[in-house]
Amino acid sequence: SYKVFKREPISTIIGNKYRIVASGPPSSGPKLIAAFNAVYALKNERGVDLLTWDYFKKIIKAADRLDKLQYDLGDPIDPRVRDVEQKLLSKEVSELLMSDMHDSEEYGDSTRRVNTGTNVAAMDSKDLYVSAFTSLNSHFGSKVMTSDGIILNNALSNFDDPSLNSVNVMEKGRRPSTSAVVAIVLDNEDVCGTRIAIGGADSFNVAK
């Protein structure tokens, strides 16, 4: 039977001002934080004009690098996932994502399946914030509908090939890795400052 596990969120501080709290593995929360750190590093890079084509090219390249580095995430019951999580939370990864970029570096359109979903965010007068994300994983999920009219997801397809030595292979009690993520951004200096509840099907798109 399905069991709910309560886990502490992961977090980081951006620019000594904003605290970002995100969902941990098997979501892409660690990749979200790595992406936020990379975008912030780019913002502070000399000679880079914001909201220009060169700026967006660097962001695209950083996202491409984040995928190519293959920091494998999966269910945190595997201790290897915790090691990867700590690497992605480090500032060194953001520096690696943004370092030594040049115009000849190639990047291309991803051939991966496009994941989709809906983010619902709520706040109340008592300073409580909730961000939730729900999804069938991809468009129309498994494309199977029950007699009650419920469309089933295809999240099992997120598991890796069993022949691979991966932290994301199917095992009893293990949840598959997902690109979905939820997060809350808080002003770390001003109690009345900015509050943002966000979420989405892809961590780097959420970071942007």
What proportion of the chain, given as a percentage, has pLDDT over 70?
86
Between 55 and 178, whose confidence is greater? 178
What is the C-alpha separation between 180 and 184, in angstroms, rounded? 14
Which of 22-26, 36-40, 112-116 shows the lowest per-residue confidence on average (mean pLDDT)? 112-116
What are the tokens at 55? 């700026």
Is the pLDDT confidence value at 152 over 60? Answer: yes
Determine if residue 178 is labeled as part of a ligand binding site: yes
Q: How far does the chain reach from its first CA to its final CA, in angstroms?
A: 37
Specify the pLDDT at position 97: 75
Mean pLDDT, the chain, rounded, equals 83
Tell me the pLDDT tens digit for each residue of 4-19. Answer: 878 899 999 988 889 9
Full-prediction pTM beyond 0.75?
yes
pLDDT band at 144 (very low <50, low <70, confident <90, very high): very high
8 Å CB contact between 144 and 49:
no
Specify the pLDDT at position 22: 95
Check residue 27 and give its pLDDT: 92
Q: What's the pLDDT at 199? A: 93
Domain boundaries, the chain: 10-104+113-200
Q: How far apart are CA 194 and CA 172, in angstroms?
A: 42
Report the distance separating Cα 154 and Cα 106, nearest Å.
32
Res 105 pLDDT > 60: no
Q: Is pLDDT at 24 greater than 90 in this prediction?
A: yes
Give the model's pLDDT for residue 45. 67
Bridge partners, residue 200, by sequence = 181
Task: Check residue 169 and give its pLDDT.
Answer: 92
Q: Is 136 annotated as a binding residue?
A: yes
Counting beta carbons within 10 angstroms of the beta carbon of residue 90, is it exposed (0 to 12), middle (13 to 18) or buried (19 or more)? middle
Interval 27-46: pLDDT, tens:
999 988 988 888 887 776 66
Whether pLDDT at 70 is above 70: no
